[in-house]
Structure 1
């Protein structure tokens, strides 16, 4: 049974679908029904969907930032921007308002995932985003879903001597061994320390990517899409497998 939304009209624009936030796609509708997310309290909806995107969608690099949420689900992996696409779409599909906050981050936090000449060729700053979720009239910054738990555990084990600040392999945090990545009515972060420039808030990822793109030319963009990201995903898989 479809739920009726009891929502302040001020936030209705943060529940709409878009090309990227295609929560009406069959695969997302099916997932939502199978998981029973519409039957949960709002807090449980956020927590269950957050944990799904964090841990059941592996950390990895998709073909581009502006792919649809249904494509992220089909890929089965994602990074900060693409996981945000899926997270936002699933939340909107169950009536939880959200928005995207755009940034750039230092490329140093990707070192290890990308290496050698490809790291040197990559732009100094790369696009980044996190999702801001409205719950009980409070906004929560939820960035901590980028790294799946299996990958993070393997990374912590590989660098177990590091207790505080760690930068690389998709993380940049001052609390490497115990980052705040679980949601319980709190902000969550795993890359926040790498933020360079703040682009502000956008209603949808579509609006954000219409204004901002990764600083890659046509040739570098092609090389990334068909070659580099696969190397990066191989490096990530090696870490995950220990």
Structure 2
């Protein structure tokens, strides 16, 4: 049974989440502050964490930092903060997804199910196929309509990071770190250029990408 840890200081939201999650067979723990959340995470071993950023005393970003030192389970941030800076910081610290309050319960539950599915250990598929192109991770090759697509080494690295995190939002700084290195964390123009090149080579309609998706102000997501 999947165990969810809710970390939020708004009793109405916690109660609504508890009712909806338990009705669907989840086990639920709840904390109203960061220190209690860290303690519960250590003792109860949740499978996924729903975390509000606006917590008293210890903020949500500090909780993420505290958790990511030893815990790899998905963290979905819930916050009334609409600014992209907050989202980017949470993602860079290790959050897996971000839902802005007020949120629809159906959407949140769908995001939660997707996060849990991605977290289940499984043998990575060597070949990833989309409606437009195929990526062979082992052979480091991409084909479209049966023909190999020539990618530069950097284009391949960008694509590989996104494909290996299929369905997950990859923050801009993380992508820059993994492809170019820590010194390039702020060179976001690199990503715009290389994503545009990849879309021209791989997407059926580069102006309306189906697989290499931009999350404005935050990062990129590969959808198969």
Select the structure with the greater relative contact order (CA < 8 A; seq sep ≥ 6). 1
TM-score (norm 1): 0.31
TM (norm. structure 2) is 0.32
Structure with larger Rg: 2
